[in-house]
């Protein structure tokens, strides 16, 4: 199985690749090809060309959540793919996500009809769903610990009131291998520890081999960061590719903690399992 980083904030190789604030991963299992997220601008199409990745061969698209930096390239990806295909996402994908500092809309930059017309065949995943043998879309993540508190800057309007954004649409991919789980996260807004625990419960596989993707550890407090690092260390991961909203400072800390098992998970890298 292979996971290639099509879009991330940074670029790993001196090739003709574009980096942008966002995430997109190309997953090749023995039987299937999955596009997980699409970055923010459509630059994934350019990068796929540069990396020799055949986007039209994708069997499905899976979206980690509605934020623009994960869904903004969706229309460009659908256009490149050129035929109707399943798009797995949480039913709250179109939630009107907002963020303060500066205050703005950060949700999906398309409406449903526009995407339907572009070839998206939406399949809603609220409860865990095995979309292919050994490939799980996690659905809503139960919040099982008290230290992962989410990002206070993220909110939605609810009947005229500003309320914290529950980001229920946070959806991760769990890939089963003989040696344990490979977990792909978008921004891990539900908390990376909650997500890993959910992956273990859903798949019945205790051993976790790798975590790849955004962790949203950049803005968290010291308590959450230390508890998360302790937890991840106990997993004895083969690979931690914490990228995107992990932030450079936290990523540098993780690189020091995890040594050769850590990767910045930049655009152009491929991880093989
Ligand atoms: Fe993000
Ligand atoms: Fe996000």
Model confidence pLDDT, tens digit, residues 152-186: 999 999 999 999 999 999 999 999 999 999 999 99
pLDDT at 101: 87
Q: Residues of the chain with pLDDT > 70: what percent?
A: 100
pLDDT at 46: 98
- The total number of structural domains in the chain stands at 1
Q: Which domain holds residue 57?
A: 2-272
Asked if residue 39 has pLDDT above 90, the reply is yes
Which ligand has the nearest atom to the CA of 170?
2
Q: What confidence tens digit (pLDDT) does each residue in 245-264 have? A: 999 999 999 999 999 999 99
pLDDT at 223: 97
Q: Where are the alpha helices (DSSP H) in 107-221?
A: 112-118, 192-203
Residue 174 DSSP class: E
The Å distance, Cα 68 to ligand 2 centre, comes to 8
Looking from the CA of 112 toward its CB, the CA atoms found within 13 Å total 11
Please state the rounded mean pLDDT for residues 23-37.
Answer: 98
Which ligand has the nearest atom to the CA of 39?
1
Residue 264 DSSP class: -
pLDDT at 214: 98
The Å distance, Cα 16 to ligand 1 centre, comes to 23
The Å distance, Cα 152 to ligand 2 centre, comes to 13
% helix / strand / coil in the chain, to the nearest 5? 25, 30, 45
Round the CA-based radius of gyration of the chain to a whole number and report it.
17
pLDDT at 72: 98
Task: Specify the pTM.
Answer: 0.98
The Å distance, Cα 244 to ligand 2 centre, comes to 9
**CA–CA distance, 130 with 9 (Å, rounded to integer):** 29
The Å distance, Cα 225 to ligand 2 centre, comes to 18
CATH number at residue 139: 3.60.15.10
Kindly report the length of the chain. 273
The overall average pLDDT reported for the chain is: 98
Please state the rounded mean pLDDT for residues 76-83.
Answer: 98
The Å distance, Cα 178 to ligand 2 centre, comes to 30
Under 8 Å between Cβ of 32 and 133: no
Please state the rounded mean pLDDT for residues 28-44.
Answer: 98
The Å distance, Cα 186 to ligand 2 centre, comes to 7
């Amino acid at each position: 199985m292979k996971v290639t980083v099509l879009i991330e904030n940074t670029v790993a190789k001196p090739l003709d690749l574009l980096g942008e604030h966002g995430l997109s991963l190309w997953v090749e299992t023995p039987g299937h090809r999955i596009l997980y997220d699409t970055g923010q601008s459509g630059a994934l199409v350019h990068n796929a060309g540069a990396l020799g990745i055949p986007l039209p061969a994708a069997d499905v698209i899976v979206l980690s959540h509605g934020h623009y930096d994960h869904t903004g390239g969706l229309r460009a990806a659908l256009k490149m793919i050129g035929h109707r295909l399943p798009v797995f996402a949480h039913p709250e994908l179109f939630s009107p996500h907002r963020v303060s500092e500066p205050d703005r809309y950060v949700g999906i930059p398309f409406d449903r009809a526009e995407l339907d017309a572009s070839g998206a065949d939406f399949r809603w995943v609220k409860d865990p769903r095995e979309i292919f043998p050994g490939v799980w879309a996690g659905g809503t993540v139960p919040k099982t610990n008290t230290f992962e508190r989410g990002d206070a800057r993220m909110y939605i309007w609810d009947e005229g009131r500003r309320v914290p954004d529950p980001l229920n649409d946070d959806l991760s991919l769990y890939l089963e291998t003989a040696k344990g789980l490979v977990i792909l996260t978008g921004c891990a807004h539900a908390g990376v520890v909650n997500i890993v625990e959910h992956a273990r419960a859903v798949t019945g596989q205790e051993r976790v081999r790798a975590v790849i993707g955004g962790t949203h550890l950049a803005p968290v407090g010291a308590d959450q960061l230390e508890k998360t690092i302790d937890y991840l260390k106990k997993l004895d991961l083969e690979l931690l590719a914490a990228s995107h909203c992990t932030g450079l400072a936290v990523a540098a800390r993780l690189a020091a903690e995890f040594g050769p098992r850590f990767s910045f998970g930049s655009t152009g890298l491929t991880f093989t399992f």
